[in-house]
Structure 1
Amino acid sequence: MEQDPAPAATAFDVATQFVDREIQNWKGPHALVIGISGPQGSGKSFLTAKILDHLRHSKPTLNCVGLLLDDFYLTHKDQVAVTKAAQLSENALLQGRGLPGTHDLELAVETLHKLRNGTVPVGIPFYDKSAFNGEGDRLDLWGAVDKTVDVVLFEGWMNGFKAIDPTLFPAAYMCTGTESVVQKTHMYHLEEINADLGRYEPLWGLFDRFVYLKTDVEKNVYKWRLQQEADLISKRGTGMTDAQVVQFVDRYMPMYVLYYWRMCAEGAAKGKDCNLCIEINGDRNVEGHFYF
């Protein structure tokens, strides 16, 4: 009698096995901070939410908290100032939230430090992307953590991205090729983004463990974003055209081309087997995983 083949492991299966093990073995003097990273549309938000739900049900004695890099975007007032400066220099990458230089890093580092070190209470900001006709703003009403935290999951699409040495940046830019999406943007504008990205590394330095989704980013991010928009149109009746979606993704794609590969190669957490890479295909199915 033939047995049905075992179902393929999902990203959730692989990630929870890693997270459960690391929590069990954690002997640190502070809360365990796990960074989670993945390209837009890869399912990282869904994965993070499922892991958090799993932890709250399987480990009810632990206080597990989730944070989003997106919730640390600049206030609307501060982003308007960044946008105005970017308009003067004609740097479209900083005209609106999303890329390095559009987050309140001081607040992010301070918040994660407090949670990590057991300080209570800690205010948690929330960001409303629909405010100001889609320009977004930080909500006046914050969340609060009033109990010492045991585990923090910190999710972000560019978590772990590291700046390129400024002296090497021109070579990195030119090596992408004249047909690359990278070279649709002036090098000096991307050098500004690169400098801003360097200021995020103290935040990544607070990650004790790191989980990330690896994929063919240049092909799949466009595909996934087009799928998401098609789903949105089917539900709401309106949305961006395919050309508008491609233009939207083009703004982020230089980040992936320049920095994603290095994050995939190096991870973000220090120490043996502290990083988990989950390889996924265009259907978000797991093709492999490894620790390092």
Structure 2
Amino acid sequence: MCWQTEFLEKHNLLNSYSENVQCVIDWLEPVLSHQKAPFCLAINGAQGSGKSTLSDYLKAYLESQAIATEVVSLDDFYLSKAQRAERANQYHPLFTVRGVPGTHDVSFAIEQVKRFKNSEDFILPRFNKATDEPYNSAMWLKCTNKPKVLIFEGWCLGLLPQSSDQLNVPVNDLEATKDRNGEYRARVNQFLSDEYQVLFALFDNLVFLNAQSFERVYSWRLQQEHQLINRAGTGMSDEEVTTFIQYFERLTRWCIQSLSARSDLHIKLDENRQFSVAT
């Protein structure tokens, strides 16, 4: 069985998926041929955009070419509930909810990416969204085989902070009612402008999966939760999704507005997640 068939069966994907994402491989091949290993590729995509599946597909492809590859998500670096509670006490109560800049252990992420780029052993943590806690460190991935490629995926990778004028106007009910003075979004923006930029500067290239509208992202997230409920019997209600996704709305819209100019490969997604390379 070829690696593509095995991957598609494992992820329950149609054969057309390989054709859909071939444009990314076509872009990546010459990039890698001109890059010295270790190479860190960032993939930015909103919730439900398919960035995790694409990352895993690229790993399978690269390993079929004898290029050792690892994948990690920004989500894997989420702080524990206790750590987020500390930030909530220090800055704003909304920091108890994981997601935005300020709810990740970015210093640890920076350390591990630097170790990867120096061809040293490094660690990739894992986060359990069911318990809202990091997995026990014994379950984290200890990378001692010196992979040539590290794929780092996340929903706000590569994003620059917003201006003070942009922060003045709330983008949704959550900000209007629970962040009336703008303190929360200003603090998120400050986190984004500081240590997150240090992390982003370590990436060699950035792929942007552009959902093109926040409404589409909301629809995809609803779809994800419905699938989770059907598969696992548990998940967020539609009302809970509506509330949860508001935490991501400001910066997701900012990604759609600004990131195409900063990415090395800009992929436009239609409502069915079909890829087209932006020119």
Question: TM-score, normalized by length of structure 2?
Answer: 0.84
CA contact (8 A) 1:84 1:95 kept: no
1:137 to 134, 138, 157: 134
In structure 1, what is the equivalent of residue 31 of structure 2?
A: 22
In structure 1, what is the equivalent of residue 101 of structure 2?
A: 100
Matched AA of 2:106: L
Structure 2: runs of 5+ lacking an equivalent = 1-15
CA contact (8 A) 2:99 2:247 kept: no
Q: Deviations over 1:87-130 (max 9, x none)?
A: xx4x42x11221111111111011001101211x2222222222
* Aligned-pair Cα RMSD in Å: 2.3
2:269 to 272, 280, 283: 280
Deviation at 1:154, TM superposition (A): 0.8
Deviation at 1:65, TM superposition (A): 1.6
Structure 1 or 2, whichever has the larger Rg, is 1
Please state if 1:173 is matched with 2:162.
Answer: no
Matched AA of 1:283: N
Task: Tell me, in whole angstroms, the C-alpha distance in 2 between the residues paired with 1:197 and 1:174.
Answer: 17
CA contact (8 A) 2:41 2:151 kept: yes
In structure 2, what is the equivalent of residue 78 of structure 1?
A: 83
1:194 match: secondary structure: helix
Task: Tell me, in whole angstroms, the C-alpha distance in 2 between the residues paired with 1:81 and 1:181.
Answer: 21
CA contact (8 A) 2:71 2:151 kept: yes
Quickly say closer, same or farther: Cα 1:103–1:51, change in 2 above 3 A.
Answer: same
Quickly say closer, same or farther: Cα 1:9–1:67, change in 2 above 3 A.
Answer: closer
1:196 to 191, 200, 207: 191
1:54 match: secondary structure: helix
Deviation at 1:135, TM superposition (A): 2.6
1:1-292 correspondence to structure 2 within 5 Å? 10-26=19-35, 28=36, 30-57=37-64, 59-60=65-66, 62-86=67-91, 89=92, 91-92=93-94, 94-119=95-120, 121-130=121-130, 134-141=131-138, 142-164=140-162, 168-169=163-164, 171-174=165-168, 183=176, 185-186=179-180, 187-199=182-194, 200-267=196-263, 275-286=264-275, 288-290=276-278
Task: Tell me, in whole angstroms, the C-alpha distance in 1 between the residues paired with 2:161 and 2:246.
Answer: 19
2:151 match: secondary structure: strand
Quickly say closer, same or farther: Cα 1:243–1:76, change in 2 above 3 A.
Answer: closer
Deviation at 1:172, TM superposition (A): 1.1
Q: Identity percentage over the alignment? A: 25
1:45 match: secondary structure: helix
CA contact (8 A) 2:159 2:255 kept: yes
Quickly say closer, same or farther: Cα 1:66–1:237, change in 2 above 3 A.
Answer: closer
Matched AA of 1:206: L
Task: Tell me, in whole angstroms, the C-alpha distance in 2 between the residues paired with 1:239 and 1:176.
Answer: 28
Query: Which structure has the highest helix share of the two?
Result: 2
Task: Tell me, in whole angstroms, the C-alpha distance in 2 between the residues paired with 1:45 and 1:237.
Answer: 22
Matched AA of 2:118: N
Deviation at 1:182, TM superposition (A): 5.4
1:254 match: secondary structure: helix
Structure 1: runs of 5+ lacking an equivalent = 1-6, 268-274
CA contact (8 A) 2:39 2:204 kept: yes
